């Protein structure tokens, strides 16, 4: 059997990697990933052939993983978080779809058994780190306009505001892109209070983790980098302080009508 495992390795803490993900890596001879992820994984990746492609080479990584698997090498394509959420799993299926539509000529890819193994995503690591910020209806929005028109993203931020969803922003800023997050803040301020609690979680569950609790009004792109998760509470999310501990949570119920 020609096998490709598509594996999410969680937010960073090795004790949050599911045993099923670990088994898939162990069963593989070849690992394809952005190199930084493999460094984080440490021992599990020892003795495997590593194929390290840089950030930005997502399609190249997915193609390579399919090629290796199609050639008979059991292969694991890895990314941190949940590989199905803004990550590599979708790229693999985009390629298979293109092959099925005859847009490319790699029929051997269709013989590969693909298994996707989910992982814990950054929003979950962040929400649990500060309490229970995802306790009620929530959404995720990527602020990257590389592949999505900004008008679409803007409309989606308005919809998230109108629906009063807890919002987690993925790809909040990049080196070339810094104004979108402040714009998103200004949109949400049209729908929910300035005091709405916000979580900034940088390098969550890793050694250099930084967790900041702020408010929607004070959210500023200058405090955020590409390793930061930004989660904004809904209009009823609460910030509570017990001595030197503080928590954010979103109540289960919804007393107020919109």
Least gap, CB of 148 to its own copies (angstroms): 4
Decide if residue 25 touches its own copies (CB under 8 A): no
Among 36, 39, 155, 220, binds its own copies (CB under 8 A): 155
* By CB under 8 A, residue 1 contacts its own copies: no
State the nearest-atom distance from the C-beta of 1 to its own copies, in Å.
13
- Least gap, CB of 218 to its own copies (angstroms): 22
Residue 256 CA to residue 235 CA, distance in Å, equals 9
- Nearest to its own copies of 222, 257 (CB atom): 257
Binding to its own copies (CB under 8 A): which residues in 37-96?
Answer: 82-87, 89-94, 96
User: How far apart are alpha carbons 22 and 19 in whole angstroms?
Assistant: 5
Longest alpha-carbon distance in the chain: 63
Among 54, 162, 174, 218, binds its own copies (CB under 8 A): 162
The answer to whether 206 contacts its own copies (rule: CB under 8 A) is no
User: With respect to its own copies, which residue has the nearer C-beta, 65 or 120?
Assistant: 120
Residue 141 makes CB contacts below 8 A (sequence gap 6+) with 153, 156, 157, 160, 167, 168, 169, 170, 184
End-to-end CA distance of the chain: 54
Q: Does the footprint of its own copies cover residue 254 (CB under 8 A)?
A: yes
Among 49, 71, 159, 195, binds its own copies (CB under 8 A): 159
Number of H helices, E strands in the chain: 7, 13
Binding test (CB under 8 A) with its own copies, winner from 136, 185, 192, 202: 136
From the CB of 257, what's the least distance to its own copies, in Å?
5
Binding segment (CB under 8 A) for its own copies, from list 41-49, 121-129, 195-203, 221-229: 121-129
Q: Which of 57, 97, 217, 220 binds its own copies (CB under 8 A)?
A: 97
* Three-state DSSP class for residue 82: coil
In the chain, % helix, strand, coil (3-state, to 5) comes to 35, 25, 40
How many alpha carbons lie under 13 Å from residue 129 in its C-beta half-sphere? 25
Question: Which two structure tokens, joined as six digits, stand for 187?
Answer: 């949109």
Number of residues forming the site for its own copies (CB under 8 A): 79
Asked if 184 interacts with its own copies (CB under 8 A), we say no
Beta carbons of 234 and 192 less than 8 angstroms apart: yes
Which of these segments, 39-47, 70-78, 147-155, 221-229, binds its own copies (CB under 8 A)?
147-155
**Whole-angstrom distance, CA of residue 251 vs CA of residue 136:** 7
3-state secondary structure of 37: helix
- Going residue by residue from 210 to 239, which x/- string records binding to its own copies, judged by CB under 8 A? ----------------------------x-
């Amino acid at each position: 059997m020609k096998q490709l495992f598509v594996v999410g390795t969680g937010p960073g803490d090795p004790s949050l990697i599911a045993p099923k993900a670990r088994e898939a890596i162990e069963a593989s001879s070849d690992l394809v990933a952005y190199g930084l992820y493999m460094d984080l994984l440490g021992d599990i990746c020892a003795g495997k052939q590593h194929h390290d492609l840089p950030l930005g080479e997502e399609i190249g990584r997915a193609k390579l993983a399919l090629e290796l698997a199609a050639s008979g090498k059991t292969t694991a394509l890895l990314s941190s978080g949940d590989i199905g959420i803004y990550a590599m799993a979708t790229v693999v299926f985009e390629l298979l779809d293109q092959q099925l539509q005859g847009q490319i000529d790699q029929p051997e890819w269709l013989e590969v058994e693909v298994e996707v193994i989910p992982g814990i995503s950054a929003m979950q690591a962040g929400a649990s780190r500060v309490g229970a910020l995802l306790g009620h209806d929530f959404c995720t929005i990527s602020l990257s306009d590389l592949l999505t028109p900004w008008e679409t993203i803007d409309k989606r931020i308005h919809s998230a505001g109108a629906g009063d969803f807890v919002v987690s922003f993925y790809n909040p800023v990049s080196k070339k892109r810094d104004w979108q997050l402040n714009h998103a803040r200004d949109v949400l301020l049209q729908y929910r209070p300035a005091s709405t609690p916000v979580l900034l979680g940088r390098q969550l569950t890793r050694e250099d983790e930084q967790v900041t609790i702020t408010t929607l009004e004070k959210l500023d792109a200058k405090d955020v980098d590409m390793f930061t998760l930004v989660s904004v509470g809904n209009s009823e999310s609460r910030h509570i302080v017990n001595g030197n501990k503080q928590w954010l949570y979103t109540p289960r119920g919804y007393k107020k009508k919109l």
